[in-house]
Chain A
């Protein structure tokens, strides 16, 4: 069975500092994708970054980067130069290999980490 684990229910970071949000996953599939989403208090899910299991380089999108360690099955999100607007829930998610076999490709989510940025 596939599973996403986020062990940090809440995190605090000082404005302008970097922060790492942890995510580990469990899957027996060789092909899979890892996603990070931000959910502010408004409830919308904002896509941040994606990492494919065969991608050799760590994904980066602006201030977001994904520290992908395949052997350890971890996909940590790094946010550089934190801003007050980064305060939100952050969810790690995985799309399993079923989609690569032509089946349904829904996302499996972790429990999330609540990030609070302090001024």
Chain B
């Protein structure tokens, strides 16, 4: 299994500012994902963080609003830019372990970053 940590665990931010969330995995992983969970809702995929290339964004999410970096196989960041109260959510980092065989029966999540925008 993989252990995933996120920083910060929570934050309260002012409208118009930006916040960068860090995700660290304790082992090399193939795929890293960023999800958003709005209050009382399910998880929605924001983007897939690709190592060495630009992230792949889902419909409704754009790079200018949610820039993502993935400099190596164990680390990624998500920035929430020009925040508004509608961005108040839990942001979750997720990863699929890397293995020679099929590891697609595993996907682990970080503890989440609880963001409140005033």
Contact = CB atoms under 8 A, between A and B. Distances in A.
Given A33-B104, A35-B107, A105-B104, A112 B42 contact: yes
Interface in A23-43: 33, 35, 37, 42-43
Contacts of B90: 43
Interface string A29-73: 000010101000011110100101000000000000000000000
Given A43-B111, A44-B111, A104-B56, A50 B106 contact: yes
A78 to B, nearest CB: 19
B42 A47 contact: no
B48 A95 contact: no
A33 B103 CA distance: 11
B58 to A, nearest CB: 8
Which residue, of B37, B43, B45, has the highest number of chain A Cβ atoms within 10 A?
A: B43
B88 to A, nearest CB: 13
B31 interface: yes
A45 B105 contact: no
Nearest to B10: A43
Given A110-B42, A111-B42, A43 B112 contact: yes
Interface string A10-32: 00000000000000000000000
A44 B48 contact: no
B78 interface: no
Contacts of B92: 45
A59 B94 CA distance: 23
Contacts of A95: 104, 107
Contacts of A107: 33, 43, 45, 94, 107
B114 interface: yes
A52 B104 CA distance: 9
Interface string A75-119: 000000000000000010001000110001111111110000000
7 contacts: A44-B109, A47-B109, A106-B31, A107-B33, A107-B94, A110-B42, A111-B41
Given A43-B114, A45-B94, A107-B33, 20 more contacts: A43-B112, A44-B109, A45-B43, A45-B112, A47-B107, A47-B108, A47-B109, A91-B42, A91-B43, A95-B104, A95-B107, A104-B56, A105-B104, A106-B31, A106-B33, A106-B48, A107-B45, A107-B94, A108-B45, A109-B42
